[in-house]
A and B are shown apart, each in its own frame.
Chain A
Amino acid sequence: DAKTTQPNSMESNEEEPVHLPCNHSTISGTDYIHWYRQLPSQGPEYVIHGLTSNVNNRMASLAIAEDRKSSTLILHRATLRDAAVYYCILRRSGNTPLVFGKGTRLSVIA
């Protein structure tokens, strides 16, 4: 599996935008970029995924670099409930399991 690199931790002020980076320089053409997050004492939950184009949903936006070697998860207005570990995962197809790294621990300050 291609590897992703994320910062160990990030901090944000409440109600400000957050940009969570992910590097995946060995991504292949068939790898989808998935983001999951894990709130304290919960299982991971799906946030967003994309292949080449930028994606938006009700939770977040995903900006994918033109060469696909990096991506950024954007939370438009961080709230205290967004404090979690965010995982960036490359996945070859919908039928392959998720391979998690350590993710980025996001702290949100009131």
Chain B
Amino acid sequence: EAGVVQSPRYKIIEKKQPVAFWCNPISGHNTLYWYRQNLGQGPELLIRYENEEAVDDSQLPKDRFSAERLKGVDSTLKIQPAELGDSAVYLCASKIGLAGGSTGELFFGEGSRLTVL
């Protein structure tokens, strides 16, 4: 079974440019997370989706960041315009809903490394 798929793996842009990251979660996983990981730090939650609904976006910088999960499957995270401080790894994770008897284990993708020049 395929894991969580993210693209692009690496992206280099100049500041003020837009950038988008895509995530395809594991089939059947209705909870999806976006995390940001700065160098030397643990991942920080940006947004959580239950199906197509964003149920926790309190940590998402809404002035420049947006996310969508229109059909409750794959998701896109966008930054417009990017700033130097946005350089980080953006991680997507998914998990099956609790109704499936899950322990709540999160499955992470490999991440998208963004460098803003």
- Chain A residues with a Cβ under 8 A of chain B: 36, 41-46, 49, 85, 87, 91, 93-95, 97-103
Contact assessment for A98 and B41 in the assembled complex, using a CB-CB cutoff below 8 Å: no
Of all chain A residues, which has the CB nearest B106? A98
Q: Smallest Cβ distance from A57 to chain B, in angstroms?
A: 11
In the bound complex, what is the Cα–Cα distance between A4 and B56 (angstroms)?
23
**Assuming the A-B contacts A45-B108, A46-B106, A91-B104, are A97 and B45 also in contact, with contact meaning beta carbons closer than 8 angstroms in the complex?**
yes
Q: Which residues of A contact B31 (CB under 8 A)?
A: 95
- Interface residues of B, CB < 8 Å — how many? 26
Q: Which residues of A contact B103 (CB under 8 A)?
A: 49, 94
**Assuming the A-B contacts A49-B103, A98-B106, are A43 and B42 also in contact, with contact meaning beta carbons closer than 8 angstroms in the complex?**
no
Contact assessment for B98 and A95 in the assembled complex, using a CB-CB cutoff below 8 Å: yes
Q: A101 contacts which of B42, B102, B109 (Cβ < 8 Å)?
A: B42
Contact assessment for A42 and B40 in the assembled complex, using a CB-CB cutoff below 8 Å: no
Contact assessment for A94 and B104 in the assembled complex, using a CB-CB cutoff below 8 Å: yes
Q: Mark B26-45, 1 if CB is under 8 A from A, else 0.
A: 00000101010000111111
Of all chain A residues, which has the CB nearest B31? A95
Main secondary structure of the interface of A (DSSP, over half): loop
**Assuming the A-B contacts A87-B42, A100-B44, are A42 and B102 also in contact, with contact meaning beta carbons closer than 8 angstroms in the complex?**
no
Q: B110 contacts which of A42, A49, A85, A93 (Cβ < 8 Å)?
A: A42
Contact assessment for B108 and A94 in the assembled complex, using a CB-CB cutoff below 8 Å: no
Q: Smallest Cβ distance from B66 to chain A, in angstroms?
A: 19
Q: Which among B33, B40, B104 has the highest number of chain A CB atoms within 10 Å?
A: B104
Contact assessment for A97 and B56 in the assembled complex, using a CB-CB cutoff below 8 Å: yes
B91 at the interface (CB under 8 A from A): yes
In the bound complex, what is the Cα–Cα distance between A86 and B35 (angstroms)?
17
Q: B104 contacts which of A41, A42, A93 (Cβ < 8 Å)?
A: A93
Contact assessment for B110 and A43 in the assembled complex, using a CB-CB cutoff below 8 Å: yes
Q: Which residues of A contact B25 (CB under 8 A)?
A: none
